[in-house]
Amino acid sequence: MGEAEITITSRGPVSFTFSELWKNRELLYFLAWRDVKVKYKQTYLGVLWVILQPLLLMAIFYIIFFRTLNIAVGMSYPVYASGGLILWGLLSSGINNSSESMLGSAQMIRKIYFPRILIPMASVLTALLDFFIAFLVFIVLLFIFRQPVSWHILYCFPLAVTLTTISSLGLGALLAALNVKYRDFRYLLPFGMQLIFFSSQIVYSLHALQKDWIKLLLFCNPLNGALELFSYPLRNEQMNVAGILISSGMAILFLLAGLLYFKRTEVYFADVI
């Protein structure tokens, strides 16, 4: 009986093997669970920090921006700020954890082969789990402050979460690959995250701005499109469709750029990490 002939060919530097990712989905769950355990190891409150952080920030922003500066957002300010903060938590946690994920998994990368993109994906999956826990508290706040909600919530909330997740994965994968070779990015990242935060309508509304070109420019920040979708079912203002399209385009651009650069450079990770 003849032996089967096996041919090994190169997949190319920019190919994506989604079937390989699906076959390794259990490893993705394991990596995500590992990140969760590491994140809350030796903490007294554990996962409660996911709830306490946005609530404490919401209270601070309520005092400073609403009670003191009297910023109007077209709805209950605590609900508005809480929604913005949990989406911000999803984006920032995914990006920050992904950017350092390759360095934290250096031993595993050197010893065995597996799709390297699973590592930043696990970081985003962990951030997504934290988001859904915080989202339960957000639902409670809707009842406490008697915030009216329209039927648009059925598609706006899922689209907002999807847009934020795509942005987080794209930027996270890009920074994870860059950080392997250029460690300078770990020092630039805090500045970049502050820029994203203050250019986002988390504590203020872009609808309050008078000049349309400034609004459209700020929608180049993908989080603003997600926040626009997230808050639309809760307020009596028109949705900025053009802004959402700009944010969606930027999110897809970041995703493609991050995955392509990651795929091009992952072959060198084990050598330089």
Among the listed residues 206, 131, 127, the one whose alpha carbon sits nearest the alpha carbon of residue 172: 127
Domains held by the chain: number = 1
| Closest to 75 in 3D by CA, of 241, 223, 233 | 233
Question: Residue 72 pLDDT more than 60?
Answer: yes
Burial group, residue 178, by CB count within 10 angstroms (0-12, 13-18, 19+): buried
Pick the closest to residue 252 from 165, 172, 167 (CA basis).
Answer: 167
The boundaries of the domain holding residue 53 are 18-272
Whole-model pTM: value is 0.87
Report if residue 62 sits inside a domain.
yes
Q: Is residue 55 one of the residues assigned to a domain?
A: yes
Distance of CA 128 to the CA centre of its chain: 8
Higher pLDDT, 24 or 116: 116
Q: 6 in a domain, yes or no? A: no
What per-residue confidence (pLDDT) applies to 8? 42
pLDDT at res. 20: 77
For residue 17, the model assigns a pLDDT of 66
Check residue 16 and give its pLDDT: 54
Res 44: pLDDT: 63
210 three-class SS:
coil
pLDDT band per the 50, 70, 90 thresholds, residue 223:
very high
Give the chain's length: 273
What is the tens place of the pLDDT at every residue in 82-116? 999 999 999 999 999 998 888 888 788 888 888 88
- Rounded Cα distance between 269 and 102, Å, is 8
Q: What's the confidence (pLDDT) of residue 47?
A: 66
Mean pLDDT of 54-64: 83
The pLDDT tens digits of the residues spanning 150-199 come to: 999 999 999 999 999 999 999 999 999 998 888 778 888 989 999 999 99
Asked if the structure places residue 3 within a domain, the reply is no
Is residue 8, in this structure, part of any structural domain at all?
Answer: no
Q: Does any domain span residue 236?
A: yes
Give me 48's structure tokens: 């409660």
Task: Name the H helices within the chain.
Answer: 18-23, 25-39, 48-61, 77-104, 106-111, 118-144, 153-181, 185-198, 212-218, 222-231, 241-265, 269-272
> Is 58 within the bounds of a domain?
yes
For 147, the 3-state DSSP assignment is coil
Give a yes or no: residue 1 inside a domain: no
Tell me: pLDDT of 118 over 70: yes
State residue 92's pLDDT score. Answer: 93
How large a percentage of the chain has pLDDT more than 70?
Answer: 90
Q: Is the separation of the CB atoms in 94 and 165 below 8 Å?
A: yes
Q: What mean pLDDT is reported for the chain? A: 85
CB 178 within 8 A of CB 95: no
